[in-house]
Homo-oligomer: A and B are copies of this chain.
Amino acid sequence: YKIAVLPGDGIGVEIVPEAVKVLQVIGEKFNHQFEYTEALVGGEAYDATGHPLPDDTLKICRQSDAVLLGAIGGPKWEQLPVHLRPEVGALLPLRKELGLYANLRPCFLFPGLTHASTLKEETIAGVDLIVLRELTGGLYFGEKSRQEVEGGIKATDVLSYTTFEIERIVRYAYEVARKRRNKLCSVDKANVIETSRLWRETVMELAKEYPDVETTHMYVDNCAMQLIRNPKQFDVIVTENMFGDILTDEASMLTGSIGMLPSASIGGKVGMYEPSHGSAPDIAGQNKANPLATILSAAMMLRYSFNLEKEAVIVEQAVSKAVAEGYRTPDIMEDGSKPVGTVEMGDVV
C-alpha cells in the first residue's frame, strides 16, 4: 500500500510520525507492506518552493493509494495573497484534484473523556454520529467576483449544486447509514435557497431506493440547535459543503476533545486522512500535541482506502485502551491520570 505522507505545519510534523508508527506495527503484525513517500505541503511548502501545494506533492499524492495529512497553516502565512495561503492554496485544490467529494467526520465519545466537554454528561454520554459533508462543490468552488457599484463595491459568490453531485454524496451517506443504525438526516435550508430545494428533492427521490433507512430532513439552523439540545438523536448527517463545515466544527465540541476526532475525505482513487483539528502553532515543537486523532485517521485509512476492517478496529481498540488506562496528553488531562507527551502516547498505542 502506497501512502503519501504530508506532515505539513505546526504540530503536523509531530503527530504524523506517531500514526506512521502505529501503521508500522499493523504492517508487521498482519504482514502488510506500507510504502511511505513524504512530501511538502502548506506553509512549509510555500517557504521551500513558493507554493503551498507544489506540483511534486500533488504528483506523489496521485501516485499513492492514500494520503496521510497532518495539519496546515499558521499565523506566519496568514498575510499572503489568498491563493498562496496554505488552506486555500493547498487544501482546497487537494480536495478538488483528488476528487474527494465526501468528507466523513465521526463524532463519538470515548468513555472516560466526558469531563472534557462543556456539555452535561447525560446529554453527551453515548453520542455516536457521523457527518458526511459534500467537499468539492457549493460556495467553496463557485465563481467569485467583484464589481464597482454606486458608492462602493459588490462582491459575489455563486452557490451551485447539480443532481449528480448531490446524488453521489447522498448515496454514499445511505451506504454508511446501512452499516450503522440505518438513520439518515439530510440537512439543508430548503425553505430559503434553491440549491437546498434541489438537494431535498434529490434526497426524497433516493430515499425510495433505501426503504430500510429512516430518512429525515432538517433545516440547518434547527440542526445547529439540535446538535446541542439532543445530539443522541443523530446517526448519519449528510449536508452540503458550507453547512458541513459549520456543523462538523460545532459537533466536534460535543466531545470537548477535538484532539480525538479523525476525518476521512474520499470519493476518488486516492483517499485523504487527517485529524479534525488544526496545526496548533502555540504548542508546536513541545511534544504536547495529542496524536490520537491522527492515529484514528490512519485507522480510517485502513478501513476506507485499504479495506482492512479488522486492522482498523484493532487500532481503534488500542486507542480506546490507552485512554481507558488513563494515558492523557495535556489537552485531555484530568486529575489522577497518567500524563504523556506526543511520542509516549504513540508508543502506548
Interface residues, chain A, CB within 8 Å of chain B?
82, 85, 87-88, 92, 118-120, 123, 139-140, 144-146, 149, 151-164, 167, 189, 191-195, 197-199, 220-222, 224-225, 227-230, 242-243, 245-250, 252-254, 258
Question: How many whole Å from A162's CB to the nearest CB in chain B?
Answer: 5
A-B contact pairs, 21 of them (CB 8 A): A118-B119, A118-B120, A119-B119, A119-B120, A119-B228, A120-B120, A145-B194, A146-B198, A149-B164, A151-B164, A152-B162, A155-B194, A155-B198, A155-B199, A156-B159, A156-B195, A157-B160, A189-B242, A228-B253, A243-B246, A246-B246
When distances are taken between beta carbons in the complex, the residues of chain B under 8 Å from A224 are 224, 246-247, 249-250
A245→B219 CA distance, assembly (Å): 10
Report which of B140, B152, B197, B228 forms a contact with A155, defined as CB distance below 8 A.
B197
Q: Are B155 and A160 in contact (CB under 8 A)?
A: yes
- Docked Cα-Cα span, A158 to B154, in Å, equals 12
| Contact across chains for B157 and A195 when beta carbons are under 8 A apart | yes
Closest to A243 in B: B246
Select from chain B the residue with minimum beta-carbon distance to A140: B192
Max count, chain B CB within 10 A of own CB: residue among A140, A153, A167 = A153
Q: Is the interface of A mostly helix, strand, loop or mixed?
A: helix
B246 A228 Cβ-Cβ under 8 A: no
B250 touching A191 by the CB < 8 A rule? no
When distances are taken between beta carbons in the complex, the residues of chain B under 8 Å from A82 are 191, 197
How far in angstroms is the closest Cβ of chain B from A293?
15
Expressed in whole angstroms, the minimum distance between the Cβ of A163 and any Cβ of chain B is 3
Distance (Å) between the CB of A291 and the closest chain B CB? 21
Closest 6 CB pairs of A and B: A152-B163, A155-B198, A144-B194, A224-B250, A221-B249, A118-B123
Q: What B residues does A149 contact at CB under 8 A?
A: 162, 164
Cα separation A228 to B119 with both chains bound (whole Å): 8
A64 vs chain B, min Cβ distance (A): 26
**How many Å lie between the Cα of A45 and that of B252 in the bound state?**
42
Which B residues lie within 8 Å of A85 (CB)?
191
Q: Which residues of B contact A252 (CB under 8 A)?
A: 225
Q: How far is the CB of A214 from chain B (nearest CB, A)?
A: 19
CA A152 to CA B166, docked complex, whole Å? 10
Q: A194, B245: Cβ atoms under 8 Å? A: no
Check B158 against A159 for contact (C-beta < 8 Å). Answer: yes
Interface pair B193/A157, CB less than 8 Å apart: yes
Residues of B within 8 A of A225 (CB): 249-250, 252-253, 258
Q: Which residues on the B side are within 8 Å of A161 (C-beta)?
A: 154-155
**Residue of B at shortest CB range from A248?**
B221
Smallest CB gap from A244: residue in B: B221
The answer to whether A191 touches B120 (Cβ under 8 A) is no
A228 touches B118 (CB 8 A): yes
Residues of B within 8 A of A162 (CB): 149, 152-155
